[in-house]
Chain A
Amino acid sequence: MTTNGVASWRRISDRIDGFDLSPSDSEEVHVLAVDDSFVDRKVIERLLTVSSCKVTAVDSGRRALQFLGLDEEKNANSFDGLKVDLIITDYCMPGMTGYELLKKIKESSTFREIPVVIMSSENILARIDRCLEEGAEDFIVKPVKLSDVRRIKDYMTKDIKLGNEGSGGNKRKIRETSDLSSSPPSTLSSLPSSLPSSPPSSPLQSMSPSPSQSIFSSSAPCSPSSTFDSPTRRLKMTLSD
């Protein structure tokens, strides 16, 4: 049932699968999502599910470590079927920050190969660099969008296919490459649905923070900062083209 400008529903996964660049994705990737916010957990869980990922969502770094079996107080759980292919975590969390969780994972011989992606509502260059230096695969500025999840899933699959080579090296280069190769705009415009017409792989997206607006925060990881979210992304979403 469609009228002018009205899109009828279709299964979201039908649309998403069309963007999937990997030819044979027979095994679903399992993502461990860590976020203390109810709202964000629900959103990231759904974003990952429609992108054909299995999701386990936990509300703290501590629980994430417990799930992985890295927590000293609980014994390792050795479910082979629950192998984690990617960890995506919020930066600012009470107790253990996402940064601290990242460090613990990279310090573990068992789990250091798992790619870790950090999410943060704050676009702070120093924070991003710190995370990348500690071995984070990518840094997503919240709010997280489908295009962000698609992007990280992309190089997760590439990592697996390449046998994890090159993933530890020049991270910015890898990001830029996947940026160009994902979701060309022509695919979007052919859909009757209403994805925003601006291409998600625009370089103005969350990946490269504009240095002119970042103000370095103090040493405390989640201290108040006066940075605003990137205004350019907001413009792309809400103004007419």
Chain B
Amino acid sequence: MDVGQMQRRLLDYTKSLFMEGVLDGQFLQLQQLQDESNPDFVVEVVSLFFEDSERLLNDLTRALDQPNVDFKTVDSHVHQWKGSSSSIGASRVKNGCIAFRNFCEEQNIEACLRCLQQVKQEYYLVKNKLETLFRMEQQIVAAGGSIPILELSF
């Protein structure tokens, strides 16, 4: 595969993530903040998001496992997760968190547990997809190419 083909493959892959609603425009914002002086910005921010998410996932699992669930605590964790996912453009994680917060407000433990599973799945999905995306970018750079930026006009 030559660099041009790799770049087109990357663009198609990125586009599919938008079509599926896995990523939204905020991810493009992050890509635009990356340049030669800061070539790893997106990877760095996303890595922070992954770390944050693992921690929140653990905290949430523990909080919902308590005999007397403290919904304020649960909500606080979900609020944080909603914030960070929104900031990187992980749209489905964010939407999952929005639904999750509604059930916290209702203090509906069953629904909260379901939401946790939902958000967890969406998180692993976006993690998987982004890791694939970064691998593709690395391949392009290793082959001497530059990373193309998606134009949102489809």
Contact = CB atoms under 8 A, between A and B. Distances in A.
Contact of B87 (A40, A50, A241): A40
Nearest to A2: B148
B102 A226 contact: yes
A60 B84 CA distance: 17
B92 interface: no
A46 interface: yes
B5 to A, nearest CB: 10
A37 B83 contact: yes
B11 interface: yes
Interface string A1-40: 1010111111111000000000000000000000001111
Given A6-B148, A39-B49, A46 B33 contact: yes
A125 interface: no
Contacts of B146: 1, 8-9
Contacts of B34: 12
B24 A7 contact: no
Contacts of A146: 29, 32-33
B104 A9 contact: no
B68 interface: no
Contacts of B86: 121, 142-143, 229
A146 B34 CA distance: 12
Do most interface residues of chain B lie in helix, strand or loop, or is the interface mixed? helix
Nearest to B84: A39
A238 interface: yes
A88 interface: no
Contacts, number: 132
A194 interface: yes
Given A92-B79, A196-B25, A37 B35 contact: no
B58 interface: no
Contact of A39 (B29, B36, B88): B88
A113 B76 CA distance: 33
B142 to A, nearest CB: 15
24 contacts: A1-B146, A3-B4, A5-B148, A10-B35, A11-B36, A12-B34, A13-B35, A39-B48, A39-B49, A40-B87, A42-B44, A42-B45, A43-B88, A46-B45, A142-B86, A143-B87, A146-B33, A194-B150, A224-B105, A226-B101, A229-B86, A229-B98, A236-B25, A237-B24
Given A9-B36, A92-B79, A146-B33, 18 more contacts: A1-B3, A3-B4, A7-B151, A11-B35, A11-B36, A12-B32, A13-B35, A38-B52, A39-B48, A43-B87, A50-B35, A146-B29, A196-B28, A229-B86, A234-B25, A234-B91, A240-B153, A240-B154
